[in-house]
Chains A and B, each alone.
Chain A
Amino acid sequence: MYVETCHIATVQPVAMNRAYIRIGDVSLGLRADSADDLELTREMKRFQTTPPTQCDIELTVQWADRLPKPVGRKLFCSGSVWALHEDHDRFIFDFATPVLGDQPYKRLAVDRKFSAARLWLNRECLPAGRQVYPLEYPLDELLVTNWLGGGRGVEVHGCGLVDHGTGSYLFLGHSGAGKSTTAHLWSSLREAKVLSDDRIILRREANEIWMHGTPWHGEAGFASPEKTKVEQIFVLEHGDRNEVLPLAQGRAVAELFARCFPPFYDRDPLAFTLSFLHEITNRVPCYQFRFVPDESAVSEILDFHG
């Protein structure tokens, strides 16, 4: 059956093949005609799950012979591989790079709740015989973070870990702030489980803030599908000595916002993100942690009792 969707003439897939993943308690169901179109990266395979009763996000993968330019209003340009347009009641994410030609190499159309999505892979850009990962970064992360923005949670740039002797810690930081170094230190010096050394999802669970590991790891390569309650948050900063400093709540919200991934192009999810970050700072003590990247940084945190 041929359908005209998003101005693309494509073959409607029978979509008998299914795959399921769960990231940050967000279930994502994929369907495609061919199992080859559901290939997952090594990191993502750790997040595969059994079929849930109902997926939070349903994604259908199919091929298009070509992808013409989108006609809707352009909402956002990422400055990297993707741009966002609106098309009536949907968002259209186009992924393009000069490496693969002028056209988008794939296009994601998704409803405004980010619960139903369709992905077109462009035959003109993606050579036959080459393995394609439909969820390939950053599409996977865009789907999950946007779904979270609908009043459900937020993803932050951070290293989350559980020390089996003392509790759980979330270390926030920009690139180069020391997240992967922190993950290495704690995993080598302590009996600690690192959920991620780069991306952590925060969600409310029974009036507590919980952090979830993600597949989007940093240089240290830690990516775990586990979760735990957040007990303390530290904003990382390199220093001449180890020092834990208090953060006023307003400052803490701003520091968290500077290290999260908000949907800049959508007012309501952006407002929710700010409100949720404020709630996090109400529920979890936040500090600035100036540190030197050696064993003493771990001792400083272990000796710190708020």
Chain B
Amino acid sequence: MADDEVPNKKEPYESPRVSVIGLRPEEAVLGTCKSSSSSGPVGTCTGVGQCRIPGS
């Protein structure tokens, strides 16, 4: 097949799109309490809603 017979398969132009990805820095940095059974510095966990550790 000659070159000039190759069909033009160029896809139509599509404008770039911006996608917003939700980052949550407070979750990506380890440190907030995980559960009342295993978290809180040396057993000082006071329970959900009462924690005094910043970010918890």
Chain A residues in the interface with B (C-beta under 8 A) = 41-44, 78-82, 95, 97-100, 105, 126, 130-133, 136-138, 141-142, 145, 157, 174-175, 198, 215-219, 221, 251, 254-255, 257-258, 260-262, 264
Q: Which listed residue (B26, B28, B33, B42) contacts A260, Cβ 8 A?
A: B28
Q: Describe B's contact surface by its main secondary structure.
A: loop
Chain B residues in the interface with A (C-beta under 8 A) = 19, 21-35, 37-39, 41-44, 52-56
- Known contacts A136-B41, A157-B27, A260-B28, A80 near B54 by CB under 8 Å: yes
Identify the closest chain A residue to B55 (Cβ).
Answer: A80
- Known contacts A251-B19, A254-B21, A136 near B53 by CB under 8 Å: no
Instruction: Tell me if A136 and B42 are in contact (CB < 8 A).
Output: yes
Instruction: Tell me if B35 and A217 are in contact (CB < 8 A).
Output: yes
Q: Cα distance A132–B35 when bound, in Å?
A: 17
The 6 closest A-B pairs by CB, nearest first: A80-B31, A80-B55, A138-B30, A254-B21, A78-B31, A41-B38
Chain A CB within 10 Å — which of B24, B31, B39, B53 has the most?
B31
16 A-B pairs with CB atoms under 8 Å apart are A43-B37, A79-B26, A79-B54, A79-B55, A80-B29, A80-B54, A98-B52, A99-B44, A136-B39, A136-B41, A137-B34, A174-B24, A217-B34, A217-B35, A218-B35, A261-B30
Instruction: Tell me if B24 and A81 are in contact (CB < 8 A).
Output: no
Assuming A78-B29, A79-B55, what are 20 further A-B pairs, CB within 8 angstroms? A42-B38, A44-B38, A78-B30, A78-B31, A79-B25, A80-B32, A80-B53, A81-B54, A97-B44, A100-B41, A105-B41, A131-B43, A136-B41, A137-B34, A137-B38, A217-B34, A217-B35, A255-B21, A257-B21, A261-B28
Q: Which listed residue (A138, A174, A215, A255) contacts B27, Cβ 8 A?
A: A174
Q: Which listed residue (B23, B24, B34, B55) contacts A78, Cβ 8 A?
A: B55
Find chain A residues with CB under 8 A from B44 CB: 97, 99-100
Instruction: Tell me if B21 and A41 are in contact (CB < 8 A).
Output: no
Question: Separation in Å of the A265 CB from the closest CB of chain B?
Answer: 10
Q: Cα distance A255–B23 when bound, in Å?
A: 9
Q: Cα distance A175–B19 when bound, in Å?
A: 21
Identify the closest chain B residue to A41 (Cβ).
Answer: B38
Q: Cα distance A126–B19 when bound, in Å?
A: 48
Instruction: Tell me if A97 and B53 are in contact (CB < 8 A).
Output: yes
Q: Cα distance A72–B24 when bound, in Å?
A: 28
Find chain A residues with CB under 8 A from B21 CB: 251, 254-255, 257-258
